[in-house]
Amino acid sequence: MLTRKQHELLRFIQVRLEETGISPSFEEMKEALDLKSKSGVHRLISALEERGFIRRLPNRARALEVLKQPENAPPRPSPRVPANANDGPRPQMTPPSAANDVIEIPLHGRIAAGVPIEALEGQTTLPVPAALLGSGEHYALEVSGDSMIEAGILDGDFALVKRTSTARDGEIVVALVRGEEATLKYLRREDDMVRLDPANAAYEPQVYRSGEVEVQGKLAGLLRRYN
């Protein structure tokens, strides 16, 4: 049997999923249940998870799924149907599932949008709207420098990168130079040479032998913070 607060939280999560398809935030749950701190929400969530009423979807922020309702839960009202809509079968109602709205991807250090600097120097995670990403494996890098400003990539932006070792001419890539330094540039190939082009007239292209440059991914999207 659930406590009153556990029951209230379960119901709140279910209603929010039905209305928006997105799990409520911990702050919203705290306010809805009139709790003093988010630690109380964490305890309630853990208790509901242990009892099999909800589950947390892995690698996604704010993603909860309601698995069942308590046996003593009040009956849910049936959806209203207009009076003139009785000439056919009613549609079957399917239980809501949490929208895959946010995905946690690895955040690897800073990458130069100027002269090459070391990237992949550490690893945390960054929550990213799933709509910004397509299929495949992705990671994020914080941009340092202004050499790509004419492509709309600014210092402090987060570059969302699809992991790949191949790219077409003209695509913006993460290029590892001489196995040590990584940079974000347009990729161009000229015979057995590779040219990494900036998007800023103040910078010169960087030209290397093809064996000196390894493509580690190509730009899939950007995130920007406004402070």
Active-site positions read 147, 185
Q: Do 134 and 79 contact (CB within 8 A), yes or no?
A: no
> For residue 99, what are the contacts with CB-CB under 8 A and spacing of at least 6?
20, 21, 22, 63
Dig out the tokens for 55 from the structure: 């589950």
Q: What is the CA radius of gyration of the chain?
A: 24
Dig out the tokens for 216 from the structure: 């580690």
3-state secondary structure of 167: coil
Return d(Cα 220, Cα 223) in angstroms, integer.
11
Dig out the tokens for 78 from the structure: 């049936």
198 burial type by CB count under 10 A (0-12 exposed, 13-18 middle, 19+ buried) = buried
Return d(Cα 49, Cα 56) in angstroms, integer.
8
